Amino acid sequence: MPYLTKPLILLLCLLVTGECRKHGHRVRRWTGTVETQKHGTSLAKKPPDVTKSRKMKTEHLLKVDDHDFTMRPAFGGPAIPVGVDVQVESLDSISEVDMDFTMTLYLRHYWKDERLSFTSSTNKSMTFDGRLVKKIWVPDVFFVHSKRSFIHDTTTDNIMLRVFPDGHVLYSLRVTVTAACNMDFSRFPLDSQTCSLELESYAYTDEDLMLYWKSGDESLSTDDRISLSQFLIQKFHTTSRLAFYSSTGWYNRLYINFTLRRHIFFFLLQTYFPATLMVMLSWVSFWIDRRAVPARVSLGITTVLTMSTIITGVNASMPRVSYIKAVDIYLWVSFVFVFLSVLEYAAVNYLSTVQDRRERKMRERARSQSLPCTCGMSQTRTMTMLDGTYSEADTNSLAGYTEEPMVPEEEQEEMHEVPEKPEHMVVHLSVSSESTTTKKKKSLRALNIIQNTHAIDKYSRMIFPGSYIFFNLIYWSVYC
């Protein structure tokens, strides 16, 4: 036991000494803190910056709970001015079928609400996200004639609220909106379209809220990289005016206007060039023999069906408007030219058939009413008469020739009764009255072009291309 007593006493002394040292260190630390605070109080006389205090909540800092933010600032007083500026991020699409456009933009509002003023030694603003927007008053701006719109929410709601110490507020949000655009397609595809995006307060009239462009035309800014596949963006500009509703009153309305000009090269390749080539292809039938019926008919039907397909394809991508478009004029005139080339061959074929039938009847009539005679005249004159171009003098000149019965050549060789004469030929003449012969001559001269089917094709080779070139000159001079 005496051996254990001494170590226990020594251990106890060490524990007591350690506790004393810890207590002395604590006293010195708290004393130093108090002295430092007293020293700082004696030197610093500025009020504390409440914006740097981490213990104060936002609601307490902006005094959100002390005011009724369901009412606009200066409620009952003059209209509160709300400035607006817009930065267009992209012009996503233009739809001719739905007659609308889609745009993504940054919409910013500027106003002053003294209820949100706070004390700050550095005069710096405070920035918040969309969670505070639901607790304060913000302008109720909406897009007039909009079909669809939404605020982007990736990764959080794209809303920013910036409050300045004097109560000025900047409220910014990123929106994609699809709005209607009244388009005029009377000059399509050689047209220019002007569309507008309209902003307006939904609840507050001009007596409560004055909506205006913050910096005039400079309030609208666009990205230089904005481009569309079918359109060239020519101009962006802003306007403003009052809008009247019979049941609620007058409202301030802001306009974002932009002008678009359509690129023509795409339609030249897809519509105009194919239509022109089909018309030119239909002219090939004028150089094909009129007796090649399958070739000319198949060529005409192919060009007509191709033109119908082109017209259907163009109208499928367009709204069903009740007026005529510029492309309709070109396509339908081209279709008429193609269709007329088919009708031209139908006329040629019909007249050829009628002419062959008439010649066959004339031969049969001449054979039945022929006057057999052996005419001692030269071979050249006889062939001229056989072609049907004889006159009355030629008929009368046959009176001096001897009439002999017409005998086949085989019987002449067997009988050897009639000697052969080189200048004597056997002809069949249909002797008629003087009036009948004169009428035939006049009708043959009047219908010379119609009966000559080769002449119809010959004139068509010049008339069709000339008319189509003249149409193109007028068309492009009017619409370009």
Domains of the chain as residue ranges with CATH: 80-262 (2.70.170.10), 267-364+467-477 (1.20.58.390)
- Whether residue 424 contacts residue 373, with contact meaning beta carbons closer than 8 Å, is answered with no
Residues 416-462: tens digit of each pLDDT: 444 444 444 444 444 444 455 555 555 555 455 454 557 889 999 99
Taking the mean position of all CA atoms in its chain, how far away is CA 92? 14
Cα–Cα distance for residue pair 440/443, rounded to 1 Å = 5
Cα–Cα distance for residue pair 169/95, rounded to 1 Å = 37
Cα–Cα distance for residue pair 91/322, rounded to 1 Å = 28
Q: Report the greatest alpha carbon distance in the chain.
A: 191
Which of these, 114, 115, 92, 95, lies nearest to 105 by C-alpha position? Answer: 92
- Confidence at residue 433, expressed as pLDDT on a 0 to 100 scale: 47
Q: Which residue has the tokens 């399509």?
A: 188
Which of these, 236, 214, 262, lies nearest to 85 by C-alpha position? Answer: 214
The dihedral region occupied by 216, where left means phi > 0, alpha psi between -120 and 50, and beta the remainder, is left
- Confidence at residue 400, expressed as pLDDT on a 0 to 100 scale: 45
Which of these, 116, 118, 102, lies nearest to 197 by C-alpha position? Answer: 102
- Confidence at residue 168, expressed as pLDDT on a 0 to 100 scale: 94
Cα–Cα distance for residue pair 239/351, rounded to 1 Å = 68
DSSP 337: H
| Encoded amino acid at 330, one letter | Y
Q: Rounded to two decimals, what is the model's pTM?
A: 0.66
Which of these, 159, 136, 130, lies nearest to 72 by C-alpha position? Answer: 136
- Confidence at residue 36, expressed as pLDDT on a 0 to 100 scale: 40
CB atoms within 10 A of CB 191: 19
Identify the segments of the chain with pLDDT beneath 70. Answer: 1-8, 10, 13, 16, 18-62, 370-453
**And the tokens for 307?**
């033109």
- Confidence at residue 319, expressed as pLDDT on a 0 to 100 scale: 86
> Which uninterrupted H or E stretch holds 305?
helix 293-316
Cα–Cα distance for residue pair 149/126, rounded to 1 Å = 29
- Confidence at residue 334, expressed as pLDDT on a 0 to 100 scale: 97
Cα–Cα distance for residue pair 344/286, rounded to 1 Å = 9
- Confidence at residue 74, expressed as pLDDT on a 0 to 100 scale: 86
Residues 51-74: tens digit of each pLDDT: 444 445 665 666 777 777 888 898
| Encoded amino acid at 307, one letter | M
Taking the mean position of all CA atoms in its chain, how far away is CA 290? 44
Rounded to 5°, the CA angle 311-315-319 comes to 165
